[in-house]
Amino acid sequence: MRGRLTVIGLGPGDPRWLTPAASEALASATDLVGYGPYLDRVPDRPGLRRHASDNRVELDRARFALDLASTGCDVAVVSGGDPGVFAMAAAIFEAVETGQPSWRGIDIRVEPGITAMLAAAARVGAPLGGDFCAISLSDNLKPWETVETRLRAAVAADFVVALYNPISRARPWQLGSALELVAEHRGPNTPIVLARAVGRPDECIRILALCDVDASMADMSTVVIIGASTTRLIAKPDDSAPYVYTPRFYGVRS
């Protein structure tokens, strides 16, 4: 029996950012697998089975979902944002590669979603207007040295940088270290966007100069966008938060 598994990106929270393709995949699923708060975003209907888990042990959750699909169920694995960006899709494929040979016969699809940095950028203007990088600050899955090497390379080459998973109770110091490293390469007035819970009722977005950012201003639900040397602010006449954007032009304009 050939099952089906779709890894679905719900977007950052606002249901108006959930794509119709993702909605369709949710509507046809027999089983939902995912972190509890993500499952809570999917409306209930008769016959839909929910398998909530906590936010850790993603590989166990992936194996559970594949096992369920291999029995013929139509399984939807739900992620916030985009499932391919620091979320469940890579865990699913890792489980496929190292798991039951029969899992390779499952019809596995990925439905893209709006990832946090795109939503955060849209809220403030166009800070990702130039070349940019996305880095997860979590050192649960890679050595901290790797994070530092990549962050240093990115700021030295003047990329805009989006930091995912900046801080958590178990990882309290990494964001502070990262900001210190950034300050070695970027000026104190470099624009920083701290975008928390974008698209959710408790959304909070702050635009600060690098020298005014403290790691305690971020939490697990925050994405941090670090401007390049060219990233600029535009004041608004009503003194509300400025626009932040990175010009497409770089270097001397002819």
Rounded-to-10 torsion of CA 143, 147, 152, 158 = 160
Report helix, strand and coil shares of the chain as percent, to nearest 5.
Answer: 35, 25, 40
Question: How far is Cα 18 from Cα 38, in angstroms, rounded to an integer?
Answer: 12
Half-sphere exposure at residue 247, Cβ-oriented, CA atoms within 13 angstroms: 10
CB of 202 to a copy of itself, least distance (A): 19
CB of 64 to a copy of itself, least distance (A): 17
Closest-CA residue to 81 (of 124, 17, 131, 165)? 17
For a copy of itself, give the closer residue by CB, 21 or 208: 21
For a copy of itself, give the closer residue by CB, 50 or 171: 171
CB of 83 to a copy of itself, least distance (A): 8
How many Cβ atoms sit within 10 Å of the Cβ of residue 201?
A: 7
For a copy of itself, give the closer residue by CB, 58 or 67: 58
CB of 196 to a copy of itself, least distance (A): 17
